[in-house]
Chain A
Amino acid sequence: MIEQFIERASSYAGDIDFLFDLITYMVGFWFIVAEGALFYFLFRFRRQPGQPTTYVDGTDKKHKRWINVPHFLIIACDVVLIIGAGNVWYKIKQDLPTQDATIGIVSQQWAWTFVHPGNDGELHTDDDIRLVDELHLEVGKTYHYELTSKDTLHSFSVPVFRLKQDAVPGRRIKGWFKPEKEGVYDIQCAEMCGIGHGVMGATLIIHSSKEFDEWLAQAGTPGKNAKVLAAANEKNPRPKD
């Protein structure tokens, strides 16, 4: 259902959408049952002449059954959901598949700095490409990210990936994503971070392989951009571990 409101662009977006649908069916069933019973009773037992009230206190086995059976059915639903949620959670937040590259993400009031490893594929080397509020990725590649914050809490949120992770100052938080659809999307900061929280967005650009190589050649070649990059490197030094 979510995909009708926002695109899927990561390998695990479908898992979350599936889990969402599963929960929708389950809670939808209970919601309809409960509201249905409620409105039926309201109609059936409305005050009308010749229909006196009854004296039922809910201690008879016969009556208790109407509470006990749904009770156990809900437990069964809960177990299914706990297992389902656990599996998807494990895949997204605990499991780390082998990466093609690692991206450094530095958050601060109120900008994102994305550190791309550059040609050598290694983070924290001299050819790192630092870009503010712009993240370039290659479709179909698995990326790890290292998320840090320089000041307050921030939250790296990419709705099309169905991914969200808070950045905590003093911690280096690792995770992964694998973009699967080309396009230009929003990156948000989803944790209140001060007066500029409302403008702390960034752009995610997912390239095809060919486009990505062109971008990398242009952005990663020392020369035209060298001075700018050096300045940027100085301004945003590598966060200490």
Chain B
Amino acid sequence: MTEATIDPTSPKAPTIGSRIRICLFSTDHKVIAFQYLITGLLMAIIGGYMAYVFRMQLAFPGEDVPGFGWVSPGHYNALVTNHGTIMIFWVAMPVLVAAAGNFLIPLMIGCDDMVFPRLNRLSFQIFFLSALVLIASLHVSGGGFGGAWTAYPPLSSDPDFNLTPLGASLWLIAVALEFVAFLIGGINFVTTTMNARAPGMSLMRIPIVVWMIVIASILFMVSVGPLIAGAVMLLSDQLAGTAFYDPHNGGDPLLWQHLFWFFGHPEVYVVLLPAMGIVADIIPVFARKKFFGYKAALYVTIATGVLSFFVWAHHQFVAGIDPRMAHLFTATTLLISIPIAELCFLYIATLFGGSIEFRTPMLWAIAFLVEFLLGGVTGIYLGASATDINFHDTYFVVAHFHYTFFPIAIIGLFAGIYHWFPKAVGRHLNETWGKIHFWGTIVSFNFVFIPMFFLGLGGQHRRIFDYRHFPDLAGEGFQDMRVIATIATCVLIAFQIPFVINFFHSIWKGKKAEQNPWKATTLEWSAASPPPHGNWKTLPTVYRGPYEYGSPDSEEDYLPQHIEPNT
């Protein structure tokens, strides 16, 4: 086949039948990306609703929560467990890795689709199935699984302990299916980037976001394998009654913790890296600056990825592991702060000497840096073994990882949506409503989680449905902070409504977007908005690096990758 045989424009108007066929069977990477995005956002609504219910319970314990009713301890445990599971595996992963990866990789490296388009479809189908299984697990008899998203055995492995035999197994099956979906998707991302790049797209000309998604996919692939094996063992403990994690019959509950966190810590970087990549691609556009230290950013990312495999036991300092191990893992954990800090410095340095325009995507990108820095530095307290003795499983941890995960999964996501929406849909989102959404989200977010740092300092431990059982924590000052966090949660959720309206309104009624509205340099902006099936009529060729802004070689202040140099 030659490179010119596909005519992407279809003359036929879409019928309902063809629309359904597209929804179910399309192998177009953009359709699949959109499906991942929408599924992720729907799951985010479920996860957000759970957060609303348990925050209300904490602020007004024992009273009926509007829209849910009375919250029993069993409900509460299931809510926090599934809030965590959903937000990480069914929101952060699909929107950041799968949606961003599917949409951006082929467009940014200049090809018409993934190299395994049907595998890509299969990946989404398995993912969708996993989401259904998870939702089903909440509604079976006995209730949803409530053993925390880490699912430590023996609680998770023995129905006599967790009292949710069906919920626990379905939960585990859903998570395992989700892993399989992303393994398949990841293989596709990596292979596509290795093998389907446009002519001239050498390794050092690949946009950072593509690099980061690929590195994230490799991290996921390497780290999740042992956990899949662990999940098989846990499932057989649950269903067949084996004793892999049962200490009374020769097993060891700590094995699961090692397998889980050997995956769990790299997983943090699996979702962090795509978000950082999105931000890395937005900042140069709106600062009109070449990315500061492209190669350095790439190398520190790889260093972070490698180091992330050697830090897992910092989640287990007080879990009963050999205390001598703590020194080793403290050292590796604090060392991993170096590449991440350096990455943040590179982002800040990119702003130096620029001409910064504060459009909504840029606002989100900057907010990512501002908030993520706080999440990053508070991690040091938890990585240092001695202070972790105090902070382990307190709200300090909760506040810390929300200060990392919220910027990653929500702020990074919105940065990406506001930036690439004109490309994906062909219409602009409304700027004013975007700014209202931005400020409402960011301000209320800080009011949710800053109080949690102080609650953590006060010794408030996690996953407790009613703090009136603990006299030291039941004081009025602490309760006030809980109420503040709860009110802020409600405000935060309310401020997502303008976004939803803006999103759907703009899809059909938004201002038309031209081909390259932000005057950006990467390849996706050289395709039509929205790109047709096949992306380009003639696939582009690449002549330079991804961030040529303010280049002395051009009359305008940017030089796109696909423009032939006039020598």
Contact = CB atoms under 8 A, between A and B. Distances in A.
Report A-B touching, CB under 8 Å: yes
B381 A23 contact: yes
Interface string B464-476: 1110011111000
Contacts of B458: 5-6, 159
Contacts of B352: 41, 45, 56
Given A23-B380, A58-B346, A159 B390 contact: yes
Interface string B365-392: 0100110011001101100111101101
Nearest to A191: B393
B472 A186 contact: yes
Interface residues of A, number: 88
B470 A186 contact: yes
Contact of B247 (A74, A89, A170, A184): A170
A153 B256 CA distance: 12
Given A6-B472, A27-B380, A74-B338, A57 B294 contact: yes
Contact of B337 (A78, A184, A188): A78
B293 A64 contact: yes
Contacts of A215: none
Contact of B463 (A55, A70, A192): A192
A67 B342 contact: yes
Nearest to A37: B348
Contacts of B287: 45, 53
Interface string A39-60: 0011001111001111111110
A97 interface: no
B296 A58 contact: yes
Nearest to B354: A45
B417 to A, nearest CB: 22
Contacts of B147: 192, 194
Contacts of A217: none
B356 A54 contact: no
Nearest to A186: B472
Interface string B262-299: 00000000000000000000000001111111111000
A1 interface: yes
A28 B342 CA distance: 16
A93 B316 CA distance: 13
B454 interface: yes
A240 to B, nearest CB: 10
Counting chain B CB atoms within 10 Å of each CB, which of A2, A37, A160 scores highest? A2
B77 A168 contact: no
Interface stretch (A122-130, A195-203, A220-228): A195-203
A51 B252 CA distance: 65
A170 B252 CA distance: 8
A151 B337 contact: no
B387 A53 contact: no
A51 B355 contact: yes
B342 to A, nearest CB: 6
Nearest to A36: B348
B161 A109 contact: yes
Given A31-B377, A93-B389, A152-B154, A5 B342 contact: no
A170 B287 CA distance: 58
B358 A46 contact: yes
Contacts of A157: 393, 461
Contacts of B390: 2, 16, 20, 159, 162-164
B386 A153 contact: no
B550 A52 contact: yes
A229 interface: no
Nearest to A38: B348
A236 B558 CA distance: 76
A169 B335 contact: no
A120 to B, nearest CB: 29
A239 to B, nearest CB: 11
Contacts of A58: 290-294, 296, 346, 349
A168 B320 contact: yes
A193 interface: yes
Given A23-B381, A55-B550, A169-B154, A197 B77 contact: yes
B218 to A, nearest CB: 25
Contacts of B373: 31, 34-35, 38
A195 B160 CA distance: 11
Interface stretch (A79-87, A98-106, A111-119, A138-146): A79-87
A155 interface: yes
A170 B470 CA distance: 28
B118 interface: no
Nearest to A3: B457
Contacts of B248: 169-170
Contacts of B11: none
B14 interface: no
A166 interface: yes
Contacts of A231: none
Interface in B387-405: 387, 389-390, 392-394
Contacts of A1: 457
A145 B148 CA distance: 27
Given A31-B374, A163-B389, A195 B73 contact: yes
Task: Please name the 9 residue pairs, one residue from A and one from B, whose CB atoms are nearest each other, closest first.
Answer: A170-B247, A159-B459, A88-B386, A58-B293, A85-B384, A54-B353, A58-B292, A27-B377, A53-B550
Interface of B: 73-74, 76-77, 146-148, 150, 152, 154-155, 158, 161-163, 247-248, 252-254, 287-296, 318-320, 323-324, 326-327, 330-331, 334-335, 337-338, 341-342, 344-346, 348-349, 351-358, 366, 369-370, 373-374, 377-378, 380-381, 384-387, 389-390, 392-394, 454, 457-459, 461-466, 469-473, 549-552, 557
Interface of A: 1-2, 5-6, 15-16, 19-20, 23, 26-28, 30-31, 34-35, 37-38, 41-42, 45-48, 51-59, 63-64, 66-67, 70-71, 74-75, 78, 81-82, 84-89, 92-94, 109, 151-153, 155, 157, 159-160, 162-171, 173, 184-186, 188-199, 201
24 contacts: A5-B457, A5-B458, A19-B387, A27-B378, A31-B374, A35-B370, A47-B356, A58-B346, A59-B293, A71-B342, A74-B341, A84-B384, A86-B327, A88-B386, A155-B318, A159-B472, A162-B389, A169-B154, A169-B247, A171-B247, A186-B459, A192-B77, A192-B148, A195-B77
Given A70-B341, A170-B252, 15 more contacts: A15-B386, A38-B366, A45-B351, A47-B357, A56-B352, A57-B291, A58-B349, A70-B345, A82-B330, A85-B387, A93-B385, A152-B152, A168-B319, A186-B470, A190-B462
